[in-house]
Structure 1
């Protein structure tokens, strides 16, 4: 067989046909929680979008934006090992509008650092989870649509994150909870007994200096191999 390809014998209409396929194609069959670092240098998480709302009139200012969110190794880190630091980044674009009229040209970004500050000492992005629906979204801190790039409610298409608790100290439940991404860290935890198809792997640990309790949602358990 050429190039180490496997052979698939398919029976179509009573005749046997031989179809070749690369062994690498099996990588595409991995579930979404598995990151093979030797084949992919980034781990896709979710896609977040903000657009025009139904109540935005012709004088309303709004942001049209898309961010595909990934985890990647921090600069200078390249191996799967205990404590290896990861970075949350986004690929996408943004554009500001007034009504249906573009205010500026569309801007494209690759590997936008979602942990950066807003020019001062505060976080640029916060990550929010609804305590009622579990919906996830990114949001910029700042002075509204006139100064934002992506927007304050960049809604994500997956519910990958949640919090330890939404209960307030008075016993009532928070309708939503947010974590500053400036103080949120992602790293590998290889001490956990993680395996995928017989290969030992690592989990991804989430830490925040402000003790917000951001964590992976039930049903999503990342494995890095």
Structure 2
């Protein structure tokens, strides 16, 4: 946890988050003797981590992952890493966005749970509202205006054929799930895509379904490891 605090104290830059993942996973492998690493996240950072440190990754599970699919993408070197700076637009935008989210929290969150709106209960709303007053929230929102997602998801997952499970909520109001799934199937070779009747948070909206998919995937991965195939 101290690594996460240190990462956030320097601002939520992509580089800080990815390096934090690397340190945590390395520590788990060394301290706990873990030989099989499954990464589970709805975020784009996990795919970045897998691309940069493939030796630490045995399998990847992504849920409603961010990141574009760009056919025929050719890698271009990153520009020199710059210190995080906040523009006036980002400063103002973060504060307006925070006010909007607080005022419309209930309707926004319930729209993200289209098949089980009761899962977006008062406890969840209270926790999200409480978290909106945590120190560093504005820094996180400011970063929305400067996050660089230029490396497409299909590029980041190259070399992980038969090692990636993507779970996609097909009623996600934040993205076009039909298009995303079609692009994943066409341009991400060897990636298994499972569609779930859920919105933006399928792991919370349909936990039984998602847990079952992940458990099945774990069994498949472990059997391949034992057999010495693919992994």
TM-score category of the 2 structures, normalised to the smaller one: under 0.3
User: Which structure carries more strand by proportion?
Assistant: 1
Higher relative contact order at CA 8 Å, sep ≥6: structure 1 or structure 2? Answer: 2
Give TM-score scaled by structure 1 length: 0.26
Give TM-score scaled by structure 2 length: 0.26
